[in-house]
Chains A and B, each alone.
Chain A
Amino acid sequence: MTRIDDTFARLRAEGRKAFVTYIMGGDPDFDTSLEVLRGLPAAGADIVELGLPFTDPMADGATIQLAAQRALEAGMTLKRTLELARRFREGDSTTPIVLMGYYNPIYSMGVPAFLEAAKAAGIDGLIVVDLPPEEDDELCLPAQAAGLNFIRLATPTTDDARLPKVITNSSGFIYYVSITGITGAASANAARVAPEVARIKAKTELPVVVGFGIRSPETAQDIAAVADGAVVGSAIVSQLGAGKPAAEVLDFVRSLAEGAHRA
C-alpha cells in the first residue's frame, strides 16, 4: 500500500472525491514553488502532482511549457525537483506526491539511481507522459518493483481493445485524459467524460481520475461527480505565471477544491 492507495481508501470511506493539483517544480523559483506546494494540502488538495521541468514538453500546452522554461531558467533540475519533494515531505507525511514529466531527464540520471533518489525524497507515484505500455521495461516495471506507483494515462483514443494493455501494470490510479489535445487547451465535458470513465471502471478496480481542460470550480465539480477525482493543472500554473503571490494562488486552489469536494 502506498500513500496513494491509502488516500483513495480514506476518501472512499468518507464518500469523497479526490482533488488533485499540478504545479511545475521550481516555478517560478524554488522557494515560491515550495511555499505553494506546502500550502496545497490545507487548501484542499488530496494528491499533489509535481511537474518535472523539461525543455520539450510535447504533450503540454503553452502554459505548462512556459512554466517549465521559468523553472529551468531559475536553475531547476531533476535533482532539485526531488529536493523540493523532500522538503515538502519533511512537514507532511501523508499527502501523496506524484512526479509528472517526460522520460529523458530520468533516463539521463539512470533509472536505478533515479528510483532510489525518488523513494528517498518521498515520491509515491510517477506519471511519465512519453512512456506508453509498449516501453514498460524502461521504467514502469522497475518503478513498481521499487514500490512506486506507475500511473498511466488513458485517452479518448484508447479503444476497448487497447484498454487492458493500458491498465495492466498501472497502479495507484488511472488518469483519464478528457480531451484529445494538450494541457490547458479545450474544456472537459462531463457528459462526454462520464461514459468513458464507466468504460474504464468496468475493466479495473483502480480509481479513475480525470484531467485536462478543468479550470473552474464548477467544471471540477461536474467532472469529479462522474469520476473518482479531478485534476487541475494549467489553471493553477497560469496564476503563478501571472506573478500572483502564493497566498492568492492557494485561495484559487481552495475554490477549486471546494468545487471538486461538492461532487
Chain B
Amino acid sequence: MTSDLLNSFRTGPDERGRFGDFGGRFVSETLMPLILELEKCYEHAKGDPGFWAEMDDLWKHYVGRPSPLYFAPRLTEELGGAKIYLKRDELNHTGAHKINNVLGQILLARRMGKTRIIAETGAGQHGVATATVCARFGLKCVVFMGATDVERQKPNVFRMRLLGAEVVPVTSGRGTLKDAMNEALRDWVTYVDDTFYCIGTVAGPHPYPAMVRDFQSIIGKETREQMLEQEGRLPDTLVACIGGGSNAMGLFHPFLDDKGVRIIGVEAGGHGVDDRMEHAASLTGGRPGVLHGNRTYLLQDEDGQILEGHSISAGLDYPGIGPEHSWLHDMGRVEYVSVTDKEALAAFQLSCRTEGIIPALEPSHALAHVTKIAPELPKDHLLVMNMCGRGDKDIFTVAEHLGAEM
C-alpha cells in the first residue's frame, strides 16, 4: 500500500497547491484571503455527499451525462489500425465539456453566498456554459472575452447575451484569452465581497487546478466504466487536446496510475512549433514561469515577458497550461505533442465525412494526432479520443480557411 501511494500520480497537489515545483498561489494580497476561503469551502464540499448528489442530479438531468463512449467504425476503417472510440462530451448541454466544471463551481458559489459570477472565455464555450448555469440558478453573470475572440466567435457572444450574461470585450494586449483572464482577475480584486470567479480550465492559483480537475474527472471515470463494459478491459491509449488542459486532465486523471495506459496530450502547434513562436504549445515550445497565479510552462521571451501565441482554435490560444500537466510532462507520465492548424483542419473534415460528427477545432487537434498514430497500431488496440466539443461555433472560421462562401 505504501509503495503504491509513493508511486501514485494522483495524490497532488500538496498543501501549498504544488504539483512538484508547479502550481502554487502567486496572487496579490487582495485575492489571497479569497482563494484561502475558496479552498476551505471546496474541501468541505468535496467531502459532503449532498454536494455530489446535487452534482449527479444536474449532470444527469440537465447536462445529459453520462456522455456516450462511441466506437467510430468508419474512422477506424479509414485509418486502418487501432480501434477508435470517441468520448462524446460534445453532446453535453452547451456543446462541450466545460459545463461539467461550471456546475461544480456554481454550486460552490451558491454555498458561499456569492451572487455575482465572473468568467473568462476564449472560444466562448466556457462563457456560454457559465452564462447557462447562471441563468439556471438566477445569478448575475459577467464574461470577459478578448476583443479578437469576440470578433471570431460571434455566435457564442450572442448566445451568452441571450442567456442574460454581460459580455465585456477586452482590448488590452492582443485581445485573446490571456487578456480576458487578466481582466477577470482585475474585476475580482475590485468586487471581492459578492463575486465568485469561475475559472474555465485547470490553471490559476490553487485550489483551481485541483478543483477543476476533480469536476472534469467525470469524463475519465465514465470512460473507464464504459470501456470495461464494452470491451472488458481498460483502453490502451488516451488522446486529448490541450489549451489550458481541462478536458485532457478530466480524461487522464482517473487513468494516471494505470501503467499500461499510454496517455497523450495534443497542444496547438499553430503555424508550426519553431522560433517564430506562432503557436500555443506551452510544453513543447515554452519554459517554466509564473502567470495567472501558478508556476507552469509558458510561452515567453528571454526577458520573461509573456508571448501571445497563436492557434486557429480560440480555445487553445493560451500561452500557459495547467500546472499538473507541466508536472506530468516533467515526470514523463504523459506524452505531449503538437499538431498544426492545417493538420487540425484536415482532421475536422475527416470527422465530418466519416462519422457525421462536426467537431470543434479544439478536439480536431486531438483527432489530427490520432490520424498519425492509429494506422501504425494493431487492430485490437483500444484508443479513446476525447471529443470535447462540437463544431457549430467554428463553421465560419473553417469556411474562411477553406475559401468557402457562407
Contact = CB atoms under 8 A, between A and B. Distances in A.
A72 interface: yes
B29 A55 contact: no
A117 interface: no
Given A104-B289, A157-B33, A158-B33, A132 B28 contact: yes
Contacts of B8: none
Q: Is the interface of A mostly helix, strand, loop or mixed?
A: loop
Contact of A130 (B16, B186, B290, B302): B290
B403 to A, nearest CB: 34
A130 B304 contact: no
A226 B312 CA distance: 54
A109 B304 contact: yes
Interface string B186-197: 100111100000
Given A56-B291, A58-B182, A181-B190, A132 B29 contact: yes
B303 interface: yes
B30 A177 contact: yes
Contacts of B172: 62, 65
Q: How many interface residues does chain A have, given as a range?
A: 35 or more
A159 B25 CA distance: 18
Interface in A64-88: 65, 72, 77-79
Interface in A121-160: 129-135, 152-159
B190 A182 contact: yes
A182 to B, nearest CB: 5
B244 interface: no
A53 B305 CA distance: 9
A56 B155 CA distance: 28
A182 B186 contact: yes
B253 interface: no
B293 interface: yes
Q: Does more than half of chain B's interface fall in helix, strand or loop, or is it mixed?
A: mixed
Interface string B167-186: 00000110000100010011
A93 interface: no
B6 to A, nearest CB: 24
Contacts of B189: 59, 180-182
- Which of B190, B290, B298 has its CB near the most chain A CB atoms (within 10 A)? B290
Given A130-B26, A130-B28, A132-B28, A58 B303 contact: no
Interface in A193-225: none
Contact of B29 (A72, A79, A106, A155): A155
5 contacts: A132-B28, A132-B29, A157-B31, A166-B29, A181-B186
Interface of A: 53-59, 61-62, 65, 72, 77-79, 102-109, 129-135, 152-159, 162, 166, 177, 180-182, 185-186
Given A157-B192, A162-B32, 10 more contacts: A58-B185, A59-B30, A62-B172, A108-B289, A130-B26, A132-B27, A134-B32, A153-B29, A177-B30, A182-B186
Instruction: Report the 3 A-B pairs with minimum CB-CB distance, sorted nearest first.
Output: A108-B304, A105-B304, A181-B190
